[in-house]
Amino acid sequence: MIKQLLQDYVSDLTGRNDIVIDVPPNPEMGDYSCAVAFQMAKEQRRNPLEVARELIAAMERSRPRLVERITNAGPYINFFVDGEAFAREALGTILSQDRGYGTLPPTGKRVIVEHTSVNPNKPLHMGGARNSILGDSVARLLRAAGYEVEVENYIDDLGIQFAEVFWGILQFGDTPEEKYDHFLGKLYIRVHETLTPELEGEIKRLNKEMEDPSSPHSAMARAIVERCVMAQLSSLKTLGIGFDILVWESDIVHAGLFDETFELLGESEDIVTEDDGPLTGCLVMKLGRVFPNMTNPDKVLIRSDGTPTYTAKDIALQMWKFGLLSRTLLYRTWDGTTMTSDNDGEPMDFGNADMVINVIGSEQSYPQEVVKRSLKLLGFDEQSEQSHHLAYEFVTLPDDSFSGRRGTWIGYTLDDVLSAGRAKALEAVTQRRSELTDDERGRIADVISAGSIRYNIARYAPEKKIVFRWDDALNLEGDSCPYVEYAHARCCAILRKAAGTYDHAACTFSYTHPKEWELVKALSEYPDVIASAAADKRPHYVTKYVNDISLKFNSFYNDLLVIGSDNEANRLALVDATRTVLANALRVLGIEPLEEM
């Protein structure tokens, strides 16, 4: 709040839009500081100290009312705020806006976030779960930042991986004795154990047949995929993750979206059919002609046998997302909250995005760059600029990687980890809260289990590799979901104890202790954290923030008396504001705030 105010103020005064407001390491140096004098002095070839003094003189003539004084420490400009006025503004805003605090004004922009998009031939393991948690957290962040967000799950139901499972069902039957996605995952392993060159050719022919909507195998394959996806989504639902729309590759093919995309691509002189060499008969995008620094200047779009590559399909999908195709998809209800594409459905308002974010592993950086460049090559410069690949690194096992073919995911599926997490959380809750009913303890365990998995994935920067370890996944202490939940529950307990005596409307918002003031300032920064995390697409900014708030609150509460103190009303208001901010931030992370633990 105050950081944004100061940023806007200094920007208006200097005409710069690159202003950064920091918190000095020593409170005696000020509450906030700015190094703009360094930048201006360098550009103007002047003494930074002289520039800083000139800026301060100008600032003093129109100082914001929340700023008590402005000084300099060398070329650094330091702001000292009026504590009582600032606390009244900050906490008053938090308490009046409640659940709306931290939600930014509408942007009028629609963003499509595609995430999960796992092959429909196995359960989600913790590697795939990282994609889902990252994507869902980014979608929640963008909604909080004022965007209209459409969340999509692209189902590759015509890929060779599913064709292998489909062949297995035709050979061995469809008689699962376990959750359907787990059954298919083990069948996939079984098929790979029997693969021969002749069998690979048979599976490729089956895959080609699946693309023909008149084939009896087409409808059968779709039914199997839908059953698998339903099982996968039931696991994600436990984490509070859902989708607005499921988009199926087969629907895109049958609706002619690929055909229209290839017609547009064929009009470009930089996309040619090779006449000789190893790519004879292939339709190739000559990216090197326009983008000389591309790692691989030639990208095959259509193979010599007439089948499109994955990248070609991704280009068509990206074109549809931006509403750049005249043909469109039809839709029907999948369940009560999710829609699905269906060529026998009805027209609806999906796609037509202003920005597209594809949450895909970092190993797909080159194909995603090709998708982005292809839009520019076709003349869609703005859509190219608004195409974002949110790359993330894999989750690996300590001594191996997750492999569907080798079955290393067995024992590490999202279902397995959720079950283990619930058992550990239930044991801890039972030991500490024996007075609760079984249902009450079970609900707390469910929230802690799902929240811990989400938090422990979201707290890593996307580009950081994660080694899956059970102690980390089920962490109930330190920088963790339970630690933040405990701080929130403690706030709720204090407010319950003060019920009937606390009225924040009567508060004076007077705080003199450093730990009170430190918490007030930190709470005021929540909207800035949301804005920054949404702009950078980094949910770990929020996990870091809520952990910091929890630390500051616990330090405040452990050192200072709240109920019964001389400053009781004001401290209760501070507890209430902390509760609000922690709850709102947890919801942005997809975690339900608990009122008791």
CA-to-CA separations, 426 to 102, 442, 445, 484, 486, in angstroms, rounded: 32, 6, 5, 18, 15
CB-based contact 139:357 (threshold 8 Å) = no
CATH of domain 2-81: 3.30.1360.70
Domain with CATH 3.40.50.620 in the chain: 110-396
- Is the predicted pLDDT of residue 209 greater than 70, yes or no? yes
For 59-83, the pLDDT digits (tens) are: 888 887 888 888 888 888 988 888 8
Range list of β-strands (E), 212-270? 245-248
3-7, 227-231, 325-329: least confidently modelled range: 3-7
pLDDT band at 56 (very low <50, low <70, confident <90, very high): confident
For 358-396, the pLDDT digits (tens) are: 999 999 999 999 999 899 988 999 999 999 999 999 888
pLDDT band at 554 (very low <50, low <70, confident <90, very high): very high
Domain with CATH 1.10.730.10 in the chain: 414-588
- Helices 540-559/438-458 angle, 10° precision: 120
Domain with CATH 3.30.1360.70 in the chain: 2-81
> How high is the pLDDT of residue 407?
67
Return the number of other C-beta atoms located less than 10 Å from residue 597's C-beta: 20
Burial (CB < 10 A; 0-12, 13-18, 19+), residue 204, is middle
Contacts of 184 (CB under 8 A, 6+ apart): 120, 121, 122, 165, 224, 228
Q: Where are the alpha helices (DSSP H) in 73-125?
A: 83-97
Tell which residue, 187, 71, 92, 35, has the closest CA to residue 573: 92
HEC string of 150-170? EEEEEECCCCHHHHHHHHHHH
Rounded CA separation 479/468 (Å): 17
What is the 8-class DSSP label of residue 65? T
- Is the predicted pLDDT of residue 477 greater than 90, yes or no? no
CATH architecture of structural domain 414-588: Orthogonal Bundle (1.10)
Rounded CA separation 334/342 (Å): 10
- Is the predicted pLDDT of residue 563 greater than 90, yes or no? yes
**Region 405-413 average pLDDT:** 79
Tell which residue, 548, 531, 539, 542, has the closest CA to residue 130: 539
Query: In whole numbers, what is the pLDDT of the chain averaged over residues?
Result: 90
pLDDT band at 559 (very low <50, low <70, confident <90, very high): very high
What is the CATH T-level fold of the domain 110-396, as seen in this structure?
A: Rossmann fold (3.40.50)
